[in-house]
Amino acid sequence: MLVVEAKLKNGTLEQYRRLNEAIKTSQFVRNCCVRYWMDHKGTTRNDLQKLCSVLANNKETPWVNKLNSQARQSAADRAWQSISKFYQNCHVKIPGKKGFPGSKSSASNGARTRTAVVFSI
């Protein structure tokens, strides 16, 4: 399941801060999943889902547990989609870069406005 859009109309500064915190936490989970895939050969989609639970229960990353499990699993799904797309590009032997999944540092694929954060898929 992918969350495509989050809207906040006439929100307070606290609500905007929490939305940004949730976005950053989701990116952290996605980056951890991609890193786990790079470090462990033969990683499956199910392994990334299990990693979400491990991250939530980790004492070094208590902020991950503040994000609900559905959002954490959605971040793992996005990581798996980028990994799967990379494998598909390699399989059909597309010339040039294959789109190796990297870390996300901002919502560069989407448009940020004051009232909404929209991600393009």
> Which amino acid, one-letter code, is at 105?
S
Domain around 92 = 5-119
User: How far apart are alpha carbons 38 and 104 in whole angstroms?
Assistant: 15
What gap in Å lies between CA 109 and CA 87, rounded to an integer? Answer: 21
Q: Which residues of the chain carry a pLDDT beneath 70?
A: 1-6, 97-121
Q: How far lies 109's CA from each of 23, 69, 79, 94, in Å?
A: 13, 23, 14, 22
The pLDDT value recorded for residue 107 is 52
Q: How many domains does the chain have?
A: 1
Tens digit of pLDDT for each residue in 48-72? 999 999 999 999 988 899 988 898 9
Three-class SS of residue 43? coil
